[in-house]
Amino acid sequence: MHLTPKARAFFSLAISEQTLLLPSHHWLLAQVTRTLAFGWRILMNEDEYADRIRRIIQNENTLENNRLQWMLVIQGFLLTGLGASIKSDIIVNISIIFAIIGFVTSLSTFSHLIHSRMAMHKASTEFKKKFPNYQGPKVIGLDVGELKWYFRFIVPPYVLPVLFMVTWVAVPMCLKVWR
């Protein structure tokens, strides 16, 4: 929540002229001085901040799931179209078009999924830096950064796009060999 112009003027006056504050104002001044690094915002306590980070991670996770679903639907349509045209004589030409579209959509999805994972990791890491002694529930169940390096690359958001990219490189080559 942002401070109103009146409250901002009050705090700038109180800080600059060292005005005597009433006891009822001390809690608000403490909130503001504790959070000056974030501008003129009244910041949240640890639990509220953890909830906000969880919402950010949940939003990124939803976007990640949507992107994976869109990619799988597009790949399904492309593979179905390729399968339906397999009996025609122009299959090699069509397969190249399908392969380009399939490869590019997989590559695009892969790049977005990596950025989504990076955003989730960054949010949880920043929370851990700001509140190293936080005792509440974790903001993310298992962060990708906590996995062993070889397990990081077999999670579905990384494997599926790469698998489809390899598939779309191999399909035209296999069709040329079989023709």
| pLDDT for residue 98 is more than 80 | yes
Q: How does pLDDT run across 135-168, given as a tens digit for each residue?
A: 887 777 776 667 676 776 777 888 899 999 999 9
- Shared domain for 89 and 19, answered yes or no, is no
pLDDT of residue 36: 44
Whole-model pTM? 0.66
What is the rounded CA–CA span in Å between residue 146 and residue 16? 46
Phi-psi group of 18: left, alpha or beta (phi > 0 → left; psi -120 to 50 → alpha; rest → beta): left
- Shared domain for 107 and 133, answered yes or no, is yes
- Shared domain for 37 and 81, answered yes or no, is no
- Shared domain for 71 and 128, answered yes or no, is yes
User: Which among 11, 28, 43 is the end of a domain?
Assistant: 43
Residue 8 identity (one-letter amino acid): R
- Shared domain for 115 and 146, answered yes or no, is yes
Residue 19: domain span: 1-43
- Shared domain for 98 and 171, answered yes or no, is yes
- Shared domain for 53 and 122, answered yes or no, is yes
- Shared domain for 100 and 158, answered yes or no, is yes
Q: Which of 2-11, 30-39, 51-60 has the highest mean pLDDT?
A: 51-60
Residue predicted with more confidence, 73 or 2? 73
Count of structural domains within the chain: 2
Phi-psi group of 44: left, alpha or beta (phi > 0 → left; psi -120 to 50 → alpha; rest → beta): beta
What is the rounded CA–CA span in Å between residue 161 and residue 153? 11
Report which secondary-structure segment, H or E, holds 130. Answer: helix 91-130
pLDDT of residue 117: 85
Q: How does pLDDT run across 100-136, given as a tens digit for each residue?
A: 999 999 999 999 998 988 888 888 888 888 888 888 8
Q: How does pLDDT run across 40-82, given as a tens digit for each residue?
A: 444 567 888 888 888 988 999 899 999 999 999 999 999 998 8
- Shared domain for 36 and 58, answered yes or no, is no
- Shared domain for 92 and 162, answered yes or no, is yes
Residue predicted with more confidence, 99 or 16? 99
Structure tokens at 146: 């906590």
The mean pLDDT of the chain is 76
| pLDDT for residue 3 is more than 70 | no
